[in-house]
């Protein structure tokens, strides 16, 4: 009977060790998944910042050219212009899994399109001759208004990503703590069963 109990204790301990190994593997996989989600959130935030930076740079170049007529500013504008649609497209792809952010990107793309049309009109006007002060101020005012609306959208997008980042970090932390507790508990129980197995074997050998 003692030998039977020792065998049961040994098998149970082995099973518990295997269980702790499976738990460790699952924990590692979930942590990796959590790291990818956190990394994805940072990538989205970087893309938003890139769109903001490009918009500000293009707006400055456009206004500088319209006000001064300096071709260097026009060259800088034309060099950077293709990067904005590319950045918006990249942001759209990165937020494809989030309905709220998809809506925000659609609005951002629409506003950016209006802004680029405004820039184009202002540049064409400048090429046709020196625009009057009233025209310059009108373009500057409209560009600023669109820029403000775009800034509101990008701010909302960043706030959403910050909230997601906090949730994902908390989820990953809770999962890590729970898994660690399970692994420690199972491993401890396995050690106890090994000890029981050892004592039962010693008792069996002593009786022989």
Radius of gyration for the alpha carbons in the chain, expressed in angstroms and rounded:
32
Structurally, the chain folds into a number of domains equal to 1
Task: Give the span between the Cα atoms of 208 and 202, in whole angstroms.
Answer: 10
Residues in the chain: 208
- Give the whole-angstrom CA distance, residue 84 versus residue 69: 23
Provide the whole-model pTM. 0.73
Structure tokens given for 206: 């002593």
Q: What is the pLDDT of residue 208?
A: 57
Dump pLDDT digits (tens) for 142-187.
888 888 899 999 999 999 998 888 887 787 777 777 777 777 777 7
Q: What are phi and psi of 157, to 5 degrees?
A: -65, -40
Range of the domain at 28: 2-207
Which pLDDT tens digit goes with each residue over 15-32?
766 776 777 777 777 777
* Residue 46, pLDDT above cutoff 90: yes
Q: What is the DSSP string of 121-154?
A: HHHHHHHTSPPPHHHHHHHHHHHHHHHHHHHHHH
φ, ψ at 96 (rounded to 5°): -60, -20
């Amino acid at each position: 009977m003692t030998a039977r109990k020792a065998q049961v204790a040994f098998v149970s301990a082995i099973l518990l060790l295997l269980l702790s190994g499976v738990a460790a593997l699952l924990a590692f996989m979930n942590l990796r998944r959590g790291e990818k989600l956190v990394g994805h959130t940072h990538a989205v935030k970087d893309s938003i910042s890139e769109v903001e930076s490009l918009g500000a740079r293009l707006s400055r170049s456009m206004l500088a050219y319209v006000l001064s007529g300096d071709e260097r500013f026009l060259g800088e504008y034309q060099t950077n212009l293709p990067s904005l649609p590319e950045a918006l497209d990249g942001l759209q792809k990165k937020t494809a899994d989030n309905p709220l952010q998809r809506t925000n990107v659609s609005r951002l793309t629409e506003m950016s399109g209006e802004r680029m049309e405004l820039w184009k009109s202002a540049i064409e006007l400048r090429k046709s001759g020196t625009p009057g002060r009233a025209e310059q101020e009108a373009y500057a005012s409209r560009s600023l208004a669109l820029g403000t609306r775009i800034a509101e959208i990008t701010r909302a997008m960043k706030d959403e990503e910050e909230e997601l980042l906090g949730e994902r970090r908390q989820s990953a932390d809770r999962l890590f703590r729970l898994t660690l507790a399970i692994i420690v508990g199972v491993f401890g129980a396995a050690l106890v069963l090994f000890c029981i197995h050892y004592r039962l074997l010693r008792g069996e050998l002593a009786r022989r």
